[in-house]
Amino acid sequence: MSRVAKSPVTIPAGVDVSIKDDQINVKGAGGLLSLAQNALVKVSSNEGKLSFEPIDGSREANAMSGTLRQLVNNMVLGVSKGFEKKLTLIGVGFKAAASGSKLNLSVGYSHPVNFEMPAGITVATPTPTEIVIKGANRQVVGQLAAEIRAVRPPEPYKGKGIRYADEKVVIKETKKK
C-alpha cells in the first residue's frame, strides 16, 4: 500500500465531508470543493478521519490511493485555512494593480496585461510590486500564479521579471571581450 495513503486525513471542526458513490464533497468556511471518486480506491470515514485503501493489489490502485488521499487532504486544508501564493515584480516601471476580480499588469510591454480571476480566487496587491493570490483550491491558485509569472519570467542577466516571492534567480555573468 502507498505510504502516503497509510496516514488518514483528519477532518477539523467546521469542515463537512460527504462521500457519495461517485464524488467526494468537502464544505467549510472557505467554500465547497468536490472531486470525482476513483473506482480503484475505497474511501471510508470513521470518527472524524478519512482512510483510503486500494481495491486490489495492482500498481495503479496503489498509486491512486496515495494520490486521492493527498487531493482530499488539500481540499480539507483549502476550505479550512486556504492557500496563497506571493509574486514579486522586479524591474523599472513594473507594477500591478488589483481591482475587484481583475489584475492589471504593467510589465514593460506596449500594452497592459489583464487577468480575470476565476470564482473563489482573490487577488491583492499590498504594494505595486507585490501580488498575493488566495483561494481554497490549491491547484487553481498554483496554476494562476504560474500563468501570471509566465507573462514576464525572470531573465538571467539582470533578474527583471515576475518571480515567486521565495524564488532565487541565478544571475549569469555577461560576455567578456
**Model pLDDT for residues 126-154, shown as the tens digit of each residue:** 999 999 999 999 999 999 999 999 999 99
* Residue ranges in 33-165 assigned as alpha helix (H): 59-80, 138-149
Grid coordinates in use for 164? 515567486
**Sheet of 161-164, strands arranged across:** 121-124, 130-135, 83-90, 161-164
pLDDT of residue 153: 95
The CATH code of the domain at 3-80 is 3.90.930.12
Mean pLDDT of 27-38: 92
Give the predicted TM-score (pTM) of the model. 0.88
Percent over 90 (pLDDT), the chain: 83
Q: What is the mean pLDDT of the chain?
A: 93
pLDDT of residue 134: 95
3-state secondary structure of 113: strand
| Beta strand residue intervals within 47-173, DSSP E | 49-54, 83-90, 95-99, 102-106, 113-116, 121-124, 130-135, 161-164
CATH 3.90.930.12 range(s) for the chain read 3-80, 83-164
pLDDT of residue 94: 95
* Residue ranges in the chain assigned as alpha helix (H): 3-6, 59-80, 138-149
Mean pLDDT of 51-79: 93
The single residue listed with the C-alpha cell 502507498 is 2
Angle at 147 between CA 149 and CA 140, to 5 degrees: 120
Mean pLDDT of 26-51: 92
Grid coordinates in use for 133? 493570490
Residue 67's contacts (CB-CB under 8 Å, 6 or more residues apart) are none
* Residue ranges in 94-164 assigned as alpha helix (H): 138-149
pLDDT reading at 176 higher than 90:
no
pLDDT of residue 17: 93
pLDDT reading at 49 higher than 80:
yes
Grid coordinates in use for 117? 480571476
pLDDT of residue 158: 92
Phi-psi region of 89 (alpha: psi -120 to 50; beta: other; left: phi over 0): beta
Among 105, 117, 86, which residue's Cα sits nearest to residue 151? 105
Grid coordinates in use for 38? 476513483
pLDDT reading at 177 higher than 90:
no
- In words, the CATH class of domain 83-164 is alpha beta
